[in-house]
Structure 1
Amino acid sequence: MELTQLSKAFEIAFPLFLIMDPLGNLPVCLSMLQEYSPSRQRKILLRELFFALAITIMFMYLGTGLLKALNIHQSTLRIAGGVILFIISMKMIFPKPESATDETEKDPFIVPIAVPLFAGPSLLAAVMVYGSKGDAGLNVLSGVLIAWGMSFVIMMTGPTMSRVLGKRGLRACERLMGLILILLSVQMLEDGIAYYISNVINH
């Protein structure tokens, strides 16, 4: 992969990594799997991460066809994606008070770890935005794999990281990621409005 392609892939990977929010999802996942040993927790998380990756790649490739079938403009998707990202980032910065954990299956299968914690609406909207651009292709796929790989490392070291950082440390990291994600969501909104003005109104 050339240097320019690699830099583009990392430009795509960075916001996707923030959207995946492994540091924010880590305490939630570990609380669901607290009855299991650390090795069993890693096996379950590994399985769910691969499910999330498959779903994300599927939406990346099928998103463009779906948009055409529904007659949805790229500008609409970018603006909607920006709004979703903004809402997600606000929840990261101002989380709800911790309450009793909802009843879930002891061994969660696809739901709720793979979907919607990792491959949630915001991530799927983002990959559809990137995938709908004309010069996407390999750069987007590489970006998805890089972001997924970084999330994979964090989740596999999750039990250890949770003990080292503690709840406050993980929450501080999540809020920092939320602040960055707000800037990216506003940028996506601006891009969507600019695209609408230049390609929809002026044509």
Structure 2
Amino acid sequence: MSSVVDTVLLGEVLVTLFVIMDPVGTVPIFLSLTAGRSPATAKRAAWQAVAVSFFVITLFAFFGQRILDYLGISLPALQCAGGLLLLLVALELLTGKEEEASAAGDVNIALVPLGTPLLAGPGAIVATMLFVQQIDSFADLTAVALGIVGVHAALWLAMRFSLPILRLIREGGVLLVTRIAGLLLSAIAVQLVADAVRAFIAGEG
């Protein structure tokens, strides 16, 4: 009797997406982006960001290659675009320009940049598309699906339980976390762009 879940593939999906999407590393960025907002708004942003990320990842899992082929977009181009978008957000965090948007509350940070491209970024999208190509049975399909759901559950838990930290560190701590998050996010963005440029030079774009 065949197994319902391919545990080996499930482990690969969980570990790979966990490393790429980095629930722990998302916490300081989430704290900085939700600073100045009410706890209820921050909680809503947490689950909305995870929902957006799950939708984007699932969409690309089923139709990713077709979408890119139809639009004539290469994976390095997608990666470079995501990196540039993240770089803009990182610069706002480093310079403090995000504070006006946070106070206004009319910018849904759960959609951009949290949901995508921070969570559902080029790395996670490409990794998911590669795992989908490995599906040959129902056990494989179940493993990939459970892996995606599991990582998104971890992302939600990380952001949801980071809110008490926000209340604990107060305004000065939020400012420090914001600057650190901006630095980390800028490094991630530059790495994405550098990888994309390297891929273009290698002729993969």
User: Do the structures match in fold with TM over 0.5?
Assistant: yes
CA contact (8 A) 2:48 2:110 kept: yes
Q: Give the total of aligned pairs.
A: 184
Partner of 2:185: 181
Distance change in 2, residues 1:49/1:113 (3 Å): same
Alpha-carbon distance, 1:70 to partner: 0.2
The whole-number CA distance in structure 2 between the counterparts of 1:19 and 1:195 is 30
So what's the TM-score if we normalise by structure 2? 0.66
Partner of 2:111: 115
Alpha-carbon distance, 1:53 to partner: 4.1
Distance change in 2, residues 1:183/1:153 (3 Å): closer
Q: Which amino acid aligns with 1:146?
A: V
Matches within 5 A, 1:1-203: 7-14=15-22, 17-18=25-26, 21-30=29-38, 33=41, 42=43, 44=44, 48-49=48-49, 51-61=51-61, 62-96=63-97, 98-99=99-100, 101-102=103-104, 112=108, 114-116=110-112, 118-120=114-116, 122-123=117-118, 126=121, 128-132=122-126, 135-137=130-132, 142=147, 145-146=150-151, 149-156=154-161, 158=163, 160-200=164-204
**What secondary structure, in the 3-state scheme, does the structure 2 residue paired with 1:112 have?**
coil
So what's the TM-score if we normalise by structure 1? 0.66
Alpha-carbon distance, 1:165 to partner: 0.7
Where in structure 1 do 4 or more consecutive aligned residues deviate above 6 Å? 138-141
Map Cα deviations across residues 52-106 of structure 1 (whole Å, 9 max, x no partner): 34433334424332111101111211221221121121112212174484375xx
Alpha-carbon distance, 1:161 to partner: 2.5
The whole-number CA distance in structure 2 between the counterparts of 1:143 and 1:89 is 26
**What secondary structure, in the 3-state scheme, does the structure 1 residue paired with 2:202 have?**
helix
**Gap runs ≥5 in structure 2:** 1-6, 133-142
Tell me the C-alpha RMSD between the 2 structures: 3.9
Among the aligned pairs, what percent are the same residue?
20
